[in-house]
Amino acid sequence: MTLGQNPAEDAAENTQEDFLRQLRQTFAQFSNEIPLYLFSEKGKGDDVYVEATRQVIRVFRNLTSKITVKEYTLDHELAKKWKVDSSPTLLIDPDRYNIRWVGAPIGEEGRSFLEAMILIGLGKSNVSDQSRSVLERIDAARNVKIFVSPTCPYCPQQVVNGLKAAIERPEIVFLEIIDIQCRPDLAEKYNAHSVPQAYANETLIGQGAQQEEVFMFSMHKLDVQTLFIPESTDKLVKTDVVIVGGGPAGLSAGIYTVRSGLKTALIERDALGGQVALTPVVENYPGFMQVGGKTLVDIMVQHTLEHVQIYQGEEVLEIKPGETFELQTTRRKFHTKTVLLATGATHRHLGVSGEKRLSGRGVSYCSTCDGPLFKAKKVIIVGGGNSAVTEALHLRHIGVDVTLVHRRDKLRAQDVLANQLNENGIEVLWNTQVHEIKGKERVQAVILKNNRTGESSEMAVDGVFVAIGYIPAVELAKKTGLELNPEGYIRHDGYHRTNIAGIYSAGDVEGGYKQIVIATGQGAAAAMTIFEDLINPYWKKEQAC
């Protein structure tokens, strides 16, 4: 069949022609030369990956004269100068950038290569303003490795993130794109069994393709981040509601206040999600049979971010009551009609000798965070509530040798959880209290005391996990003059109104059942009270009487 006789073939040809025309138009705008340097091992110039790389380059060179290419072997001076020791390695404009492909940019990676040519040819990183502000905060080198494969459709997104960073901050971002098929040894070394996988300074920063800002933030923090909260530079924020605390109560309150038409700001000094973010697995939040605490938090935060500006990493120092409340944080001022305190609760400490000194050196309050460090080691977990049992099970599942130490002969935890201790062969020391935690640099042993017999014993352990409940975070409430109940929680009227008109409370800081579903419900209820009170302020009625 000759050309013109098959409509499907003609359409494909036309589409390809259109695409090439568009590419030529884009390439015609290139202001920069793009010098490429291809390195291969001596005597292996006909290697399949080297040849594939040449072919890709040839395709692009047919479209623009701005791309030049030089080939060298690994024993050349330039290979030493640019520290190239793997074949093939392709360097892109190495006098301006630190970008190298280890392997061939073929298959799906052709898309990444095209993006690299466009960004470098146009001399633009194309990063978003938010990404740029994160990149500006990085003050030390980042050696980024992104593992990819030619058949991975998600990889180009992550590679483009790396390219943008390397073009925006060429003096500190050193990017290596590594094809796991070409370098299985490196994939093995970095455990990159699924791609894309990104490392910065030998630390995992991303598994799977990340949103651009999340990638930049992970590279900045040298840790896998799952969220990016845009930063504000405003010195004064005027709003209807300020929510203090970004746990489930505060997050759900924010969704409700905004949907009631109230301008809302949420301030969180630490990590969003409160205690939930540290809970290994949640099995009783409706709609989720089983979900990681952090995953649940991420979903809640994403939802809240749709509505509310979140100010994370700043602390409310003072609340000045008045017609309008004035809040001073570590970064700015807020003027607001109402304040909702959803400050939650913090870990209760054992208060025994050695606990404070060895905190972070074997004493931990977060099994989700620190558990993996104790794999195949021996630890105790102290407590008898839902937290202690859930965390004991988590530790056991990740391969930690864990014993539960409880001060009574009956657990406070729900039966369904308590039964699993037995099923998982977790030993429980009943009627036992920790008397002392011993160790020089790190935890080495605990002194245990039996409450019934009064007997003391020493047990060699590598870690002590403490899960003995929480104490309400009421410092700010006390400073502002809010009344507390005899248990030390914020006193409220059943509708979340505190003793100061215009200030409300919700969640664990109010005491009662500490359940995620209850905290979210309280947040919603407090938001609805705020809405009703702003329409019909009860404090004005009181003044009028």
Tell whether residue 350 is a contact of ligand NAP (CB under 6 A): yes
Is 369 known to be catalytic?
A: yes
> How many alpha carbons fall within 13 Å on the CB side of residue 406?
22
Residue with smaller CB distance to ligand NAP, 55 or 457: 457
Mapping DSSP onto H, E and C, the string for 369-406 reads HHHHHHCCCEEEEECCCHHHHHHHHHHHHCCCEEEEEC
Could you say which of 75, 223, 369, 409 is catalytic?
369
CA distance 488 to 511: 8
Residue with smaller CB distance to ligand NAP, 196 or 507: 507
- Phi/psi region, residue 228 (left: phi>0; alpha: psi -120 to 50; beta: rest), is beta
- What is the distance of C-alpha 295 from the center of its chain? 10
Tell whether residue 408 is a contact of ligand NAP (CB under 6 A): yes
> How many alpha carbons fall within 13 Å on the CB side of residue 371?
21
Tell whether residue 467 is a contact of ligand NAP (CB under 6 A): yes
Residue with smaller CB distance to ligand NAP, 256 or 285: 285
Q: How far is the CB of 409 from ligand NAP (least distance, A)?
A: 10
Backbone angles phi, psi at 497, to 5 degrees: -85, 135
Q: Which of 384, 463, 511, 523 binds ligand NAP (CB under 6 A)?
A: 384
Check: CB of residue 493 under 8 Å from CB of residue 484. Answer: no
Residue with smaller CB distance to ligand NAP, 9 or 409: 409
Tell whether residue 284 is a contact of ligand NAP (CB under 6 A): yes
Is 545 known to be catalytic?
A: no
Q: How far is the CB of 435 from ligand NAP (least distance, A)?
A: 11
Pairing type for strands 236-244 and 281-282 reads unpaired
The window from 53-61, 204-212, 482-490, 508-516 that contacts ligand NAP (CB under 6 A) reads 508-516
Backbone angles phi, psi at 52, to 5 degrees: -65, -40
Nearest residue (beta carbon) to ligand NAP: 385
Site residues for ligand NAP, 409-438, by CB under 6 A, read 412, 433
Tell whether residue 514 is a contact of ligand NAP (CB under 6 A): yes
Q: How far is the CB of 405 from ligand NAP (least distance, A)?
A: 8
Residue with smaller CB distance to ligand NAP, 116 or 413: 413
The one-letter code for the residue type at 43 is G
Residue with smaller CB distance to ligand NAP, 37 or 489: 489
Is 366 known to be catalytic?
A: yes
Tell whether residue 490 is a contact of ligand NAP (CB under 6 A): no
Kindly write down the DSSP assignment for every residue of 398-431, as one continuous string: TT-EEEEE-SSSS--S-HHHHHHHHHTT-EEETT
The window from 39-47, 312-320, 363-371, 376-384 that contacts ligand NAP (CB under 6 A) reads 376-384
Q: How far is the CB of 437 from ligand NAP (least distance, A)?
A: 13
Tell whether residue 385 is a contact of ligand NAP (CB under 6 A): yes
Of 126, 104, 130, the C-alpha closest to 115 is 126
Residue with smaller CB distance to ligand NAP, 296 or 382: 382
Q: Which of 96, 124, 263, 407 binds ligand NAP (CB under 6 A)?
A: 407
The order of strands in the sheet holding 142-148 is 67-73, 34-40, 89-92, 99-102, 173-179, 142-148, 197-200, 203-207
> How many alpha carbons fall within 13 Å on the CB side of residue 340?
39
Q: How far is the CB of 212 from ligand NAP (least distance, A)?
A: 35
Check: CB of residue 154 under 8 Å from CB of residue 160. Answer: no
Peptide bond between residue 88 and the one before it cis (omega within 30 degrees of 0): yes
Tell whether residue 180 is a contact of ligand NAP (CB under 6 A): no
Rg of the chain over Cα atoms, rounded to whole angstroms, equals 29
Q: How far is the CB of 407 from ligand NAP (least distance, A)?
A: 4
Q: How far is the CB of 224 from ligand NAP (least distance, A)?
A: 24
Kindly write down the DSSP assignment for every residue of 245-276, as one continuous string: --SHHHHHHHHHHHHTT--EEEEESS-TTGGG
End-to-end CA distance of the chain: 95
Residue with smaller CB distance to ligand NAP, 164 or 394: 394
For ligand NAP, how many residues bind (rule: CB under 6 A)? Answer: 24
Q: Which of 98, 158, 309, 390 binds ligand NAP (CB under 6 A)?
A: 390
- Phi/psi region, residue 198 (left: phi>0; alpha: psi -120 to 50; beta: rest), is beta
Tell whether residue 388 is a contact of ligand NAP (CB under 6 A): yes
- Give catalytic residues, as residue numbers: 366, 369-370
Provide the binding-site residues for ligand NAP, judged by CB under 6 A: 279, 282, 284, 348, 350, 382-388, 390, 407-408, 412, 433, 467-470, 513-515
